[in-house]
């Protein structure tokens, strides 16, 4: 726990939708090459936390990335620094082909055909199915394939840190396991990941640390190694 400089650090981060304060002074951080899970029940503010980091909602507090304060209300600038969000519900562009979705991932990449190919090769290595489906209309793919595309598209942006909002949503258990396995591979390659999940047991298998969010506050920081049973987890939820 003694790493000196977290790659991402939120301090007193709050967010509101109109009069509703959905996030209340949250402190959290992510260290280099770390996979951090964010757990919590429906409406806890998990998505809001990711959106607040991206500057997609009205926020208070600060977010530092590699020691520098991130601009607020300028998502494009946040994304340009390599902080890439895979939004809840995947946010893939249905009418466009798989290839075009990937191209949108590399949207900020100027010129550099070689670099584009390199990134794409990395995505295909991780998700070979995307290569087969390049010209398919994204909206016509299965849920699992769409999730792969969403992650692949994020990787095309060459993220320095990846924010994932419930990638398991609506997927069959087998597909879910496959996707989480890919995330583990990515993380092992050194990519820091924030993984928002409702299905805590799954997330805790991968995570080095976890935050438990409830009613817009962090109510616990969890060490996955200490959570061995469902009962124990339930204790955290209802504490």
Ligand X SMILES: Nc1ncnc2c1ncn2[C@@H]1O[C@H](COP(=O)(O)OP(=O)(O)OP(=O)(O)O)[C@@H](O)[C@H]1O
Interface positions with Mg ion (CB under 5 A): 47, 88
CA distance 98 to 223: 38
Which listed option, ligand X, Mg ion, other proteins, none, makes contact with residue 43 (CB within 5 to 8 Å by class)?
Answer: ligand X
Q: List the Cα angle 196/200/201 in 5-degree steps.
A: 135
Stretch that binds ligand X, among 35-43, 114-122, 138-146, 200-208 (CB under 6 A): 35-43
Helix, strand, coil percent content, the chain, rounded in steps of 5: 40, 25, 35
Task: Please state the closest distance from residue 43 (CB atom) to Mg ion, in A.
Answer: 8
Instruction: Measure Cα distances from 75 to 10, 57, 83 in Å.
Output: 16, 10, 10
Stretch that binds ligand X, among 4-12, 37-45, 93-101, 176-184 (CB under 6 A): 37-45
Question: Could you say which residues in the range 165-224 bind ligand X, by CB under 6 A?
Answer: 198
Task: Please state the closest distance from residue 162 (CB atom) to other proteins, in A.
Answer: 11
Angle of the 143-156 helix axis to the 98-105 helix axis, nearest 10? 30
Q: Could you say whether residue 100 binds other proteins (CB under 8 A)?
A: yes
Give the 3-state secondary structure of residue 193: strand
| Nearest residue to 186 (alpha-carbon basis) of 115, 104, 98, 127 | 127
Residues interacting with other proteins, by CB under 8 A? 51, 54, 56, 75-76, 79-80, 84-85, 87, 91-97, 99-100, 103-105, 107-108, 134-137, 139-140, 142, 153-154, 157
Residues interacting with ligand X, by CB under 6 A? 17, 20, 22, 40, 42-48, 88, 198
């Amino acid at each position: 726990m003694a790493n000196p400089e977290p790659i991402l650090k939120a301090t007193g981060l709050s967010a509101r939708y109109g009069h509703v304060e959905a996030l209340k002074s949250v402190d959290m951080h992510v260290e280099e090459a770390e996979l951090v899970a964010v757990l919590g029940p429906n409406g806890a503010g998990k998505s809001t936390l990711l959106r607040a980091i991206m500057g997609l909602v009205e926020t208070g507090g600060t977010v530092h990335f590699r020691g520098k304060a991130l601009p607020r209300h300028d998502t494009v600038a946040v994304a340009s620094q390599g902080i890439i969000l895979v939004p809840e519900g995947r946010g893939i562009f249905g009418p466009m082909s798989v290839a075009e979705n990937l191209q949108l991932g590399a949207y900020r990449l100027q010129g550099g055909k070689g670099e584009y190919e390199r990134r794409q090769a990395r995505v295909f290595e991780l998700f070979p199915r995307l290569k087969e489906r390049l010209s398919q209309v994204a909206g016509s793919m299965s849920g699992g394939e769409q999730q792969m595309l969403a992650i692949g598209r994020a990787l095309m942006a060459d993220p320095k840190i990846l924010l994932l909002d419930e990638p398991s949503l609506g997927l069959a258990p087998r597909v879910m396991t496959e996707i989480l396995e890919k995330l583990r591979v990515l993380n092992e390659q050194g990519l820091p990941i924030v993984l928002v999940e409702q299905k805590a047991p799954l997330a805790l298998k991968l995570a080095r640390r976890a935050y438990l969010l409830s009613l817009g506050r962090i109510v616990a920081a969890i060490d996955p190694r200490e959570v061995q049973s469902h009962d124990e987890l339930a204790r955290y939820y209802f504490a």
